[in-house]
Structure formats: C-alpha cells, structure tokens
C-alpha cells in the first residue's frame, strides 16, 4: 500500500481510531520514557497542590498569551 493510500484509509476511520493511529505513529517518533513521564507527573501534582492550597495564584491563560503577544510583537 502506498503512503497516499494509507493516509486516505486512515482519514476514513472513525475519530477514535484515527487518534489511536496518530498516537502510535507519534510514539515511534518520540518514544515515552517512564522516568521522564514520572518526573513530569510529580511536577504537575506539586503545582496542583500549590494551587489548591492557595500558596500560588493562577494566572488566566488570556493574560499569559496577551503578555507573550506583547513581548513578541515589538
């Protein structure tokens, strides 16, 4: 099967199956690393706990992107 035919076949699949195909292909390009994934999960849990405890304040995404846009539009 040629690449173009394969892509057309995948495009005709239900969205859930296309997600599985995309995830599988991406994993071949960037295989998951358990140690790194664990570290990221630990960081995410720490940040969530900080937000819930009130020790840090959340910044709305709109404000973050506004600041980024201002910085790079100059």
Q: Which residue has the tokens 């239900």?
A: 14
pLDDT in tens, 6-61: 999 999 999 999 999 999 999 999 888 999 999 999 999 999 999 999 999 999 99
pLDDT of residue 1: 83
Domain positions in the chain: 34-72
Which helix (H) or strand (E) covers residue 49, if one does?
helix 34-53
As given in the structure block, the two tokens for residue 59 are 């910044």
Contact 57, 46 (CB under 8 A): no
As given in the structure block, the two tokens for residue 54 are 């009130």
pTM of the model: 0.53
């Amino acid at each position: 099967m040629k690449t173009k035919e394969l892509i057309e076949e995948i495009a005709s699949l239900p969205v859930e199956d296309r997600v599985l195909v995309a995830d599988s292909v991406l994993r071949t390009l960037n295989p998951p690393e358990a140690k790194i994934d664990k570290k990221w999960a630990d960081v995410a849990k720490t940040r969530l706990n900080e937000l819930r405890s009130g020790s840090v304040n959340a910044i709305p995404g709109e404000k973050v992107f506004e600041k980024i846009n201002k910085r790079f539009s100059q």
